[in-house]
Amino acid sequence: MKVLEKLPATEIVMICTGSQGEPMAALSRMANKDHIIDIGPGDTVLLASSLIPGNENAIYRIINAFTRWGATVVHKGNAKVHVSGHASAGELAYCYNILRPTAVLPVHGEWRHLTANAAIATRTGIDEKDVFVIEDGVSIDLVKGRARMSGRIEADHILVDGTTMGVATEDAMLDRRVLAEEGAITVLAIVDVDRGTLGEPVEFFTRGFVEEPGWKANASKAIDEAVLQAAGSPTDREAMEKLITRTLGRWLTRRHRRNPVITTIVVEE
C-alpha cells in the first residue's frame, strides 16, 4: 500500500475478489466504504465476469454503490468484457488429445454440461465405456488402471445449523423459507373441550409478522365463529388446535394474502 500511495491513480490497476457480490469480498467492502481502498470519481471498476443466477441483487448493489460514489462501472451488460473461468470446447478437446486419459469423469456443471463434456471426450477417440456421466452419490472404483462404476452411496443434502448437522428435508427448508418471508403466529386458546367452546378470547403472539391495526380483533372473531359452528361436535384438544390453525390460516390468506407459520396451543379450561 505504501508503494501504491506514491503512484498516480492513472497507473494503478488492482485485481480484487467479489465479482459475484460476495459480502466479505474486497469489491463488496469497497462498495460499502469498509475497505482501505477508497473508490470514487475518476476510478473505473471492471467486472469481467458473467452474472450467476441468484446473485443478481448482490451484484447490482455493488454496481449501484460504485456508481453512487462516482466511479465508472464496466460490466458484461454494457461492454464485451466477460472472461470465462471455464475451458471452451476446443480447449477441452486439446487437453484430451494431449493427455489421452484412460477414463474421463466430468464433474462440474449441470447435466447438460456434463454430457457435452463427455461428447467432446468421445470425439477425441476415448471409448464411451470409459467416459462416465454420473450423479452425486455414484461411486467409481479404480482397479488396475481402469475405472468402473461400483455402486451408489446415499448423498442427501446436509443442513449445517450452528453446531448441529442433519438431513435437510423439503418440509424443514419450506418452514425456514416461510418463517423468513411471512413470520410466525402463535395462538393461545382457553377451551372447554367438553362443550367445544372458547373460555375466553384467543391471544396472538407474533414474530416477524407485519401487523396492521385491528387484525387481531377480526381474526379472533373469525375463530370464534368457527368454534361456535363446530360446538356440540365430538372434539378433543388436538382437533381444536387443527380447527383454529386452519381457520386463522384461511382467514389470513383470504383477507391479507399472507401465509405465516401458525402454531396453536389449546389449554383445557
Task: Using the structure block, give the residue that is written with the C-alpha cell 363446530.
Answer: 230
Domain 14-74: top CATH class: alpha beta
- Has domain 170-268 been given CATH number 3.10.20.580? yes
pTM comes to 0.54
C-alpha cell at 159: 443442513
DSSP secondary structure string, 150-172?
A: EEE-----EEEETTEEEE--HHH
Note down pLDDT in tens along the chain; length 269 residues: 788 888 998 899 999 999 899 999 999 999 999 999 999 999 999 998 888 888 999 999 999 999 999 999 999 889 988 877 788 999 999 999 999 999 999 988 899 999 999 999 999 999 999 999 999 889 999 998 899 999 999 877 788 888 888 877 788 888 888 899 999 999 999 987 677 778 888 999 999 998 889 999 999 999 999 988 887 665 678 888 999 999 999 999 999 999 999 999 999 87
Instruction: Please state, in angstroms and rounded to a whole number, the distance separating the CA atoms of residues 177 and 261.
Output: 10
Close Cβ partners of 76 (under 8 Å, ≥ 6 residues apart):
47, 49, 50, 51, 82
